[in-house]
Chain A
Amino acid sequence: MRLVFEKSRPGQRAGRIPCPVDLAAAKLPGELLRRHPPRLPELPEVEIVRHFTELTARNFGIDTGFYPLGSCTMKHNPRVNERVAALPGFRDAHPLQEEEGAQGSLELMHHLQEMLAEITGLDAVSLQPAAGSQGELTGLMLMRAYFADRGEGETRRTIIVADTAHGTNPASVTMAGYELQKVETDPRGNIDLDDLRSRVDESTAGLMLTNPSTLGLFDEHIEEIAAIFHEAGGLLYYDGANLNAVCGISRPGDMGFDIVHINLHKTFSQPHGGGGPGGGPIAVRERLEPYLPVPAVVRDGERFHLDHDRPKSIGKVRAFTGPFGVFVRSYAFMLAWGKELRTMSEDAVLNANYLLARLKEAYDLPFDRLCMHEFVLSARGLKREHGVTALDVAKRLMDYGFHPPTIYFPLIVPEALMIEPTETETKETLDAFADAMLAIAREAAQEPETLKAAPHGRPVRRLDEVKAAKRAIVRYRFEDHPDLSGEQTASPEIQAPKGV
């Protein structure tokens, strides 16, 4: 398929700007003037629409089919959310206008904050962070501010992270200026308490944990973990990526966590958009409230205000009050559930356990327990006996019309397949997926070469990621654009990492 630049024809255009005819042209100092126009595509509107429509034919979304990426919570994105986000009162409201003109937005935000506080079991909420990983960083900044305020800023240098943690956790730790320590997982899938106790001391600022973990397992010792940290004077941070398992069933605040980030684009149905936007609001215990980003959304009787007078605030992590359009969608989603939100998590856990029951004979199960909203299988047996890897299973699933699950994560499970169905899938879809996974396990034994050459039915076959990394062609170079198709590709079998 051609790039939009390759379809461009000089002299074509789509848009027209209403230019007032009687206006004098503006004068710019010569040294600031653009010398060469940017090479934007020149196309009429019909060609623009066709180009992007052609792109959609090469893309798969939740609207297309089952999308069981672990820890991503790919649930259905209700269309009413799009309708309400587009209401002109929301869509065309300027964030810097005076508060009198933004009471609708402020009230929505305030109510959303209250709902998130109720779900998390915590006291105060900021909606400002733009994504989960920004929420993590904000939470760590709150910890810094808290300890600095208590005169412990110099001594508390370390954050402990589980070895099953998502990579954003350690990356956030470094960006916040902390040092990292990893704690191990025990054979039952819980945090190893002995390892944990050996690492916690007066230099510990806190723990970053998700519960259930990325293994889909609820840590049975969570109360003890919280006690270990609080006794040492540390704080607990909850990565909300897996919140879909426990809404209305167990609250991070009650588990002992002090700071929680929520992923609105996971648990609360904000569409993923191919990589964003998202929302990463944080909820905190009262003693951390003074440090929250500015401005805070506060209520005074029937009026809502932006409070900028927050001397202990860490500052701002993003412009304005956060990604408001995301709040509208999540808020609408939460109103649809109301007090029955618990059913969302119950069905998420039920769907995951059902799939687990159907698949655990054909694939290896690293942890023999009931799961929560997701579970991890290993293709290690297939690899040992037939040379078929998790990567091959994932590519073959595409031929069956499914998006693959997450592969090679968490790192502690070799040939990992992390599957999260979510609550919006029918039993028929779950059965079709399970049937496909079982068929693939049989194919691994009978015709492994079919798997190794998969996918067979997509617009492209397996792509040479080695070439991409070495050549680093990251923009169209017009006349100088290289033609890679003539070049020898790497060996047809693109290897997966063997478990580094």
Chain B
Amino acid sequence: MTYVSLTDGDREAMLEAIGVAGLDELFRDIPAGVRFDRELAFGAPLSEQEIVERLQGLADRNVHTGQEVSFLGAGVYDHYAPAVVDAILQRGEFLTAYTPYQPEMSQGVLQAIFEYQTVICELTGMDISNASGYDGTTVAADACYVAKHATGRQKIVLAETLNPQVRQVVKTYAPGFGMEVVEIPHRGGVTDADELRASAEDAACVIFQQPNFFGCLEAAPDLAAAANDAGALAVAHVDPISLGVLEAPGKYGCAIAIGEGQGAGNPLSYGGPHYGFLAAREEFTRRMPGRIVGETTDVAGERGYVLTLQTREQHIRREKATSNITTNQTLLALGGLIYLCWLGPEGLRELGETCMALSDHAKEQLSGSLLFSDQTTFKEFAIRAGRPAQEVVRAARAQGVHPGYPLGRDYEGLDDALLVAVTERRSIEDIERLVEALAA
């Protein structure tokens, strides 16, 4: 029956070997007052076929990217993930393995994480990466915790052009850290470096995003310099898809690079699971949160991999740990690694250039509506629709096009604005349909 593997004969023999008369005796330590003595209010057990039918029925009530031409982004994106990712992730040796605490049993996962750490360091120009964080929002909280202990300061400065959910998560974590949060408003869609410097005077860290939430390119080296001038750690929240064309944060003065990995190899999946990445300069090694894999040798001199620097972590350092994180997002990070291997450096560059070119083409077609017409953008840009964005979205979806994210959900005075994301999955024809849908 369902997912148990004992026969009645087995159960009898086992009870006898234990030395109890019946199953109930195994629970005799549970006080009567806390026993649950009715049936759970669930339906009858379903067969596999019935489960699939039930779940298919639910899935059919969702709209997915195969059913409409989607320009919706705002942090997670409709990029193309190749079949080879799932083919590997579905292998049981990866899918059903636990955290690699016994390295002799887990060289596959350990080496894969080591390779993932390497590609993240390559993309971001940093020295050390962890094995992943929960998503692109929690890694920002992690970065603040590192900065707090590294600088001894209690203030966090966030650019308003940083993803609103990232900011909200940082604000949720900050009180427990004993830290306060300050935001710098955007100026014409980007962040002013002088304002940032002034705000960062007593800050532990400054977090900005590149490209930012509006899709605009910040003067990131200037923002990092401004943070450094003020003695705060410069933390860049970056799009992995952009790092074939945009400079690595480690090369322009950032202490920590973080971001959302979803676009690089994971499906949208209504918001998760995805993976966050966090990489830092070498001097922050002992403060790094999360799992880290290191290289070593075995007693026969063979190269091998192990979880290392574990004294940072909760299972050893307990209340003084660099984080409480245990289970992270390894399988999704592995998906990111496979995706980046499939792309290679040429592919990543071409992908970035394609997204930019398509997006610029869309901007040209919509040039009368651009919100930040002066700014260079990467794969997203903001437009004003002249009427409430929710209406525009509804009308466009009725024509099979999702035109983008209503910015009024997060920013004052932008109720008629939409954030339009153009990935490599959109064609010139798709863009024409967008223009038509917006004009209607």
Q: Which of A177, A256, A315 touches B178 (beta carbons < 8 Å)?
A: A177
Q: Is the CB of B111 within 8 A of A58?
A: yes
Complex formed: what's the CA distance from A476 to B295 in Å? 9
| Separation of A498 and B217 alpha carbons in the complex (Å) | 55
Contacts of A339 in B (CB 8 A): 39-45
Cross-chain contact A319 with B136 (CB below 8 angstroms): yes
CB pair B5 A424 closer than 8 Å: yes
A392 contacts the other chain (CB 8 A): no
Query: Is A80 interfacial (CB 8 A cutoff)?
Result: yes
Q: Are B327 and A278 in contact (CB under 8 A)?
A: yes
The reply to whether A18 and B424 contact each other, CB–CB distance below 8 Å, is yes
Stretch binding the partner chain, chosen from A230-238, A347-355, A378-386, A435-443: A347-355
Name the residue of chain A whose CB is nearest to the CB of B221. Answer: A31
* Residue B213, interface by CB 8 Å: no
Complex interface: stretch among B193-201, B337-345, B366-374:
B337-345
| Beta-carbon contact of B272 and A320 below 8 Å | yes
B432 vs chain A, min Cβ distance (A):
13
Q: What are 6 A-B pairs with beta-carbon distances under 8 A?
A: A52-B88, A119-B40, A218-B30, A275-B100, A319-B169, A323-B274
Task: Give Cα A467 to B303, complex, Å.
Answer: 12
Q: Are B172 and A141 in contact (CB under 8 A)?
A: yes
Quick check: A38 and B243 within 8 Å, CB to CB? yes
B residues near A167, Cβ cutoff 8 Å: 313-318, 321
State whether the Cβ of B78 lies closer than 8 Å to any Cβ in chain A.
yes
State whether A476 and B118 are in contact (beta carbons under 8 Å apart), knowing that A358-B17, A370-B26, A487-B297 are contacts in the complex: yes
0/1 string, A35-78, CB within 8 A of B gives 1: 10111111101001101110111111111100101001011111
What is the minimal beta-carbon distance from A222 to any residue of chain B, in angstroms?
6
Q: Please judge, given known A-B contacts A318-B135, A485-B301, whether A59 and B361 are in contact too, CB under 8 Å.
A: no
Bits for B179-202, please: 1 = Cβ < 8 Å to A, else 0: 000000000000000000000000
Closest to B39 in A: A339
Contact with A along B95-138 (1 / 0, CB 8 A): 11111111111111101111101110111000111011011111
9 shortest A-B CB distances, which residue pairs?
A: A63-B92, A89-B59, A273-B331, A59-B108, A320-B271, A315-B172, A275-B330, A95-B271, A101-B63
Whether B306 and A463, one on each chain, are in contact in the complex, defined by CB atoms closer than 8 angstroms, is: yes
Known A59-B106, A274-B334; 6 more pairs at CB < 8 Å: A40-B122, A61-B92, A171-B324, A398-B104, A425-B5, A475-B117
Residues of B within 8 A of A (CB-CB), count: 210
Q: Is A426 an interface residue (CB 8 A)?
A: yes
Q: Could you say which residues of chain A place their CB within 8 Å of the CB of B175?
A: 141, 144, 177
- Is A450 engaged at the interface, CB distance under 8 Å to the other chain? no
Cβ contact of A427, chosen from B6, B93, B313, B349, cutoff 8 A: B6
Question: Is there a chain B Cβ closer than 8 Å to A173's Cβ?
Answer: yes
**Does A499 sit within 8 A of B, measured CB to CB?**
no
Residues of B within 8 A of A14 (CB): 82, 84, 341-344, 347
Does any Cβ of A come within 8 Å of B365's Cβ? Answer: no
- Tell me the smallest distance from the CB of A407 to a CB of chain B, in Å: 9
B18–A272 touching, CB < 8 Å: no
Residues of A within 8 A of B427 (CB): 20
Q: Which of A27, A173, A271 contacts B96 (CB 8 A)?
A: A271
Closest to A40 in B: B345
A455 to B23: give the CA distance in the assembly, Å. Answer: 37
- Nearest CB of B to A390, in Å: 12
Judged by a CB distance under 8 angstroms, whether A88 is at the interface is yes
In the complex the two chains form, what is the Cα distance from A107 to B62 in whole Å? Answer: 10
Q: Mark B156-188, 1 if CB is under 8 A from A, else 0.
A: 000000000110110111011110000000000
Does B105 contact A60, Cβ atoms closer than 8 Å?
A: yes
Q: Is the CB of A40 within 8 A of B357?
A: no
Contacts of B101 in A (CB 8 A): 69, 406
**Contact among A316, A323, A341 for B172, CB-based, below 8 A:** A316
Which of chain A's residues have a CB closer than 8 A to the CB of B111?
A: 1, 3, 55, 58
A168's partner among B113, B326, B357, B359 (CB-CB below 8 A) is: B326
Query: Which of A263, A324, A335 is B269 in contact with, Cβ under 8 Å?
Result: A324
| C-alpha gap A473/B173 in the complex (Å) | 31
Q: Which residues of the partner chain B approach A84 to less than 8 Å between Cβ atoms? A: 51-52, 55-56, 59
Whether A104 lies near B296 (C-beta < 8 A) is no
When the two chains form the complex, which single residue of B44, B59, B114, B273 contacts A338, counting CB atoms closer than 8 Å? B44
Q: Closest chain B residue to A325 by CB distance? A: B269
Contact, CB under 8 Å: B324 / A26? no
Question: Interface digits, A366-398 against B, CB 8 Å rule (1 contact, 0 not)?
Answer: 000110000000000000000000000011001
Contacts of B2 in A (CB 8 A): 336-337, 340, 343-344
* A170 engages B90 (CB within 8 Å): no
Q: Does A187 contact B (CB under 8 A)?
A: no
Nearest chain A CB to B296 CB, angstrom units: 4
Contact yes or no, A88 B66, CB < 8 A: yes
Q: Which of A125-133, A194-202, A281-289 forms contacts with chain B?
A: A125-133
A156 interface hit (Cβ, 8 Å)? no
- Across-interface contacts of A177 in B (CB, < 8 A): 175-178
Task: Given A23-B358, A95-B76, A107-B61, decide whether A15 and B342 contact each other with a Cβ distance below 8 A.
Answer: yes
Asked whether A59 and B128 contact (CB < 8 A) given A102-B62, A273-B330, A335-B51, the answer is no
Check B437 for interface membership: any CB of A closer than 8 A: no
User: Which residue of chain A is the closest to B133 with respect to CB atoms?
Assistant: A130
Docked-complex contact A82 and B172, CB < 8 angstroms: no
Residues 295-324 of A, flagged 1 when their CB comes within 8 A of B and 0 if not, give 000000000000000000011111111111
Residues of B within 8 Å of A131, CB to CB, are 134, 325-328
Q: Report the nearest B residue to A16, measured CB to CB.
A: B347
Contact A20 B97 (CB under 8 A): no
**A472-B130 Cα distance, complex, nearest whole Å:** 12
Chain A residues in 8 Å Cβ range of B56:
84, 87, 89
User: In the complex, which residues of chain A have a beta carbon less than 8 angstroms from the beta carbon of B271?
Assistant: 95, 319-324
Q: Which residues of A contact B119 (CB under 8 A)?
A: 38, 40
Smallest CB separation, B400 vs chain A (Å)? 12
Encode B60-102 as 1/0 by CB contact (under 8 A) with A: 1111111000101011101000101011111111111111111
User: A residues within 8 A CB of B353?
Assistant: 19, 25-26
Determine how close the nearest CB of chain A comes to the CB of B92; give it in whole angstroms. 3
Are B26 and A460 interface neighbours, CB within 8 A? no
Please give, as numbers and ranges, the residues of chain A lying within 8 Å of B109 by CB-CB distance. Answer: 55, 59, 274-275
- How far is the CB of A344 from the nearest CB of chain B, in Å? 7
A346 in contact (CB, < 8 A): yes
A94: CB under 8 A from chain B?
A: yes
Q: Which residues of B contact A77 (CB under 8 A)?
A: 95-96
Shortest Cβ distance from B158 into chain A, in angstroms?
14
Interface check A154, CB cutoff 8 A: no
A76 to chain B, nearest CB (A): 6
A459 within 8 Å of B by Cβ?
yes
Determine the chain B residues whose CB is within 8 A of the CB of A403 once the complex forms: 98, 102, 105
- A108 interfacial by beta-carbon distance below 8 Å: yes
Q: For A93, give its contact among B15, B62, B87, B178 (CB under 8 Å).
A: B62
Are A92 and B329 CB-contacts (below 8 A) given A59-B106, A218-B29, A338-B44?
Answer: no
Task: Choose from B57, B76, B108, B332 the contact partner of A58 (Cβ within 8 Å).
Answer: B108
Q: Are B98's CB and A370's CB within 8 A? A: no
The reply to whether B344 and A474 form a contact with Cβ atoms under 8 Å apart is: no
Would you give the shortest CB distance from A46 to chain B, in whole angstroms? 10
Q: In the complex the two chains form, is A349's CB within 8 Å of B330's CB?
A: no
Q: How far, in Å, is A106 (CB) from chain B's closest CB?
A: 9
What residues of chain B lie closer than 8 Å to A461, measured between beta carbons? 104, 298-300, 302
Whether A320 contacts B328 in the complex (CB less than 8 A), given A80-B48, A118-B42, A350-B15, comes out as: no
Which residues of the other chain, B, contact A320 by a CB distance below 8 angstroms?
A: 165, 270-272
A274 contacts B97, C-beta separation under 8 Å:
yes
Residue from A45, A59, A343, A467 in contact with B297 in the complex, judged by beta carbons closer than 8 Å: A467
Given A58-B108, A339-B42, A426-B6; A98-B393 close (CB under 8 Å): yes
B268 at the interface (CB under 8 A from A): yes
Residues of B within 8 A of A93 (CB): 62-65, 268-270
Q: Which residue of A lies closest to B332 (CB)?
A: A277
Interface check B208, CB cutoff 8 A = no
In the complex, what distance in Å separates the CA atom of A468 from the CA atom of B248? 27
